[in-house]
Amino acid sequence: MYDYLIVGAGLFGSVFAYEAIKRGKTCLIIDKRNHIGGNVYTEKVKDINVHKYGAHIFHTNNKMIWDYVNSFAEFNRYTNSPVANYKGELYNLPFNMNTFNKLWGVISPSEAKQKIEEQKEASGITDPKNLEEQAISLVGTDIYEKLIKGYTEKQWGRPAKELPSFIIKRLPVRFTYDNNYFNDRYQGIPIGGYTSIIEKMLEGIEVRLNVDFFEQREEFESLAKKVVYTGMIDQYFDYKYGILDYRSLQFETKVLEDTDNFQGNAVVNYTDKETPYTRIIEHKHFEFGTQEATVITEEYPGEWKPGDEPYYPVNDDKNNETYRKYKELADNEDKVIFGGRLATYKYYDMHQVIGAALATVNKEFE
Ligand code: FDA
């Protein structure tokens, strides 16, 4: 009998497995996909590491977590500096002096601030009632119209006027010529892709792929003393309190044999409403690739229905309340540990998942 059955070979399950084995425990890890790594999985195509589930850029302020991932792979100096394409006009992101200069021709930070203030004032919005009003009250009309409106409406599948204001709490506006998207101290891409990190974590651990826990639930439960569950929490409890909603994504990947550089940047966001995808990823630029061909992925946001791949939790009041009920049940299961983005119904960045997994490990083995 194993000490742990781990459901899900994503980042949470893999960190847990690695740490458990280090402590002399035995683990069996299963995943319903045909590969390890969950959403951080990368796959080589034309010798380029393709991020199969969307762009994954590692960033953190936590030195301990940075050192931890670096113990599994060497990271490069990649800095995320996406570009927005609005009907053929290109703007730097996040909103910074380069963006303001392109938009209005302003040179100094005080001119840019004045421009934004003027637009905020002209809008007359004092008590924002929806996402549109909230965004305009934070950055003014030009940035909203060109860089936020279309993108957000595509992402959520609804007009910005019908979206709640809480989705945008803050909008980072920077009055320096700095295109680095993240403020974190550490940032990079693992040289050779994320899959090799997971492979290292799972070295010597029994992994079974293409196996859905729910198809042989009793059998699997009987194999181990404890279960670490990283799948969807509502499914674990047989949807007893209803289904938790997600937003989904579709990825359309194309190999361009005769192009070595398609867009000159890893991430280009399409911020108009008409272009059906929200962004195009050109994977080779994550690792400064010089291959002869290139691989690009268009990202299409979509409605989610049960059976689709769940990407972004919809943390509105209704879903949070449903999750709270499931969490209560989960807290009473003493032989099951719930962890990761799906079992806690939370959007987690990679560093946060690693942090959560290590905290779980500390609690389990204290
Ligand atoms: P994950 O979903 O990876 O793993 C869970 C695993 O459980 C899956 O492999 C699944 O197949 C398996 N499973 C579920 N149910 C099962 C069942 N019944 N039986 C067997 N197996 C089952 N973060 C960041 O730091 N920087 C970034 O740039 C990005 N970018 C990004 C883009 C997009 C589009 C998304 C959706 C997410 C990001 N992220 C990110 C977040 C990152 O993907 C996330 O933090 C981790 O992948 C979460 O790891 P988990 O182990 O929690 O879940």
Kindly report, residue by residue over 211-243, the tens digit of the pLDDT. 999 999 999 999 999 999 999 999 999 999 999
Q: What per-residue confidence (pLDDT) applies to 190?
A: 98
Give the residue numbers annotated as catalytic, written as ranges.
170, 174, 247, 279, 299, 347, 349
- As a whole number of angstroms, the distance between CA 194 and CA 42 comes to 6
Q: Which of 134, 167, 200 represents a domain boundary (last residue)?
A: 167
Same domain? For 143 and 195 the reply is: no
- Token readout for 191 is 């040289």
The tally of CA atoms less than 13 A away on the side-chain side of residue 247 is 18
Same domain? For 24 and 161 the reply is: no
Same domain? For 155 and 199 the reply is: no
Establish whether residue 311 lines the binding site of ligand 1, counting it when its CB lies within 6 angstroms of any ligand atom: yes
Same domain? For 234 and 199 the reply is: yes
Indicate whether 10 belongs to any domain: yes
Ligand 1 center to 207 CA (angstroms): 17
Establish whether residue 341 lines the binding site of ligand 1, counting it when its CB lies within 6 angstroms of any ligand atom: yes
Indicate whether 257 belongs to any domain: no
Same domain? For 22 and 132 the reply is: no
Indicate whether 301 belongs to any domain: no
Indicate whether 293 belongs to any domain: no
Q: What per-residue confidence (pLDDT) applies to 164?
A: 86
- Token readout for 127 is 């008590």
pTM of the model: 0.95
Domain that holds residue 338: 2-42+63-72+186-245+313-364
Same domain? For 105 and 158 the reply is: yes
Indicate whether 82 belongs to any domain: no
Same domain? For 197 and 343 the reply is: yes
Collapsing DSSP states into helix, strand and coil, what is residue 14?
helix
Q: What per-residue confidence (pLDDT) applies to 122?
A: 93
Position 165 confidence tier, pLDDT thresholds 50, 70, 90: confident
Indicate whether 9 belongs to any domain: yes
Establish whether residue 266 lines the binding site of ligand 1, counting it when its CB lies within 6 angstroms of any ligand atom: no
Indicate whether 259 belongs to any domain: no
Ligand 1 center to 126 CA (angstroms): 39
Sequence-ordered alpha helix ranges (H) in the chain: 11-22, 63-70, 97-104, 109-123, 131-139, 141-143, 149-156, 195-201, 217-221, 233-236, 317-331, 340-343, 350-364
- As a whole number of angstroms, the distance between CA 199 and CA 72 comes to 9
Same domain? For 196 and 328 the reply is: yes
Give the number of domains in the chain: 2
Question: ipTM strictly over 0.85?
Answer: yes
